[in-house]
């Protein structure tokens, strides 16, 4: 399965990145894929919307509110504090339970509607997007 995740902690110094490592390790161990966006004090490098769109589920390991949460609208998700995925088999257990919830159709879905990019009339149209890596957050984090 394919997952995306967001990690964020209070100081944005350490746990954000430890949770990222924990989720990546868990995915590897279980034979899945995950891309994690760290929302730490070093800034945010927003992941490509295509990754989110292709994901089977979203894991928010956060002590703060997720920035750009609407990007994940409609996706099955689980949300918990960073400490719940760091250490021992925590990450693996969280992911295992989440997968079971997705399979059972009981996983909650991220609320709201995904903001449509410029051309709502042309879904999946090949937009000349270029390398707008920082598109979503503008130049907030240079």
Closer of 127 and 133 to other proteins (Cβ): 133
Nearest to 11 by CA among 33, 44, 49, 39: 39
Cα 4 off chain centre by:
4
Least Å distance between CB 44 and other proteins?
10
Should residue 46 be labelled a site residue for other proteins when binding is judged by CB under 8 A?
no
Should residue 141 be labelled a site residue for other proteins when binding is judged by CB under 8 A?
yes
Should residue 30 be labelled a site residue for other proteins when binding is judged by CB under 8 A?
no
Site for other proteins in 59-118 (CB under 8 A): 83, 86-88, 90
Separation CA 66–CA 111 (nearest Å): 13
Separation CA 72–CA 79 (nearest Å): 12
The residues, any chain, with a CB within 8 Å of residue 25's CB and separated by 6 or more, are: 91, 92
Should residue 38 be labelled a site residue for other proteins when binding is judged by CB under 8 A?
yes
Least Å distance between CB 63 and other proteins?
8
Nearest to 6 by CA among 50, 57, 131: 57
- Site residues for other proteins per CB under 8 A: 10-18, 20-22, 25, 38, 40-43, 83, 86-88, 90, 141-142
């Amino acid at each position: 399965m394919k997952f995306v995740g967001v990690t964020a902690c209070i100081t944005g110094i350490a746990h954000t990145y430890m949770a990222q490592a924990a989720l990546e390790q868990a995915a590897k161990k279980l034979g899945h894929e995950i891309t994690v966006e760290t929302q730490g004090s070093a800034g945010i490098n927003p992941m490509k919307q295509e990754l989110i769109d292709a994901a089977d589920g979203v894991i928010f390991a956060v002590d703060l509110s997720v920035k750009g949460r609407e990007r994940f609208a409609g996706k099955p998700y689980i949300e918990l504090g960073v400490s719940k995925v760091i250490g021992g088999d925590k990450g693996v257990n969280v992911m295992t339970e989440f997968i079971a919830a997705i399979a059972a159709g009981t996983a909650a879905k991220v609320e709201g509607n995904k903001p449509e990019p410029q051309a709502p009339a042309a879904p999946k149209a090949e937009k000349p997007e270029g390398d707008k890596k920082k598109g979503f957050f503008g130049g907030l984090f240079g």
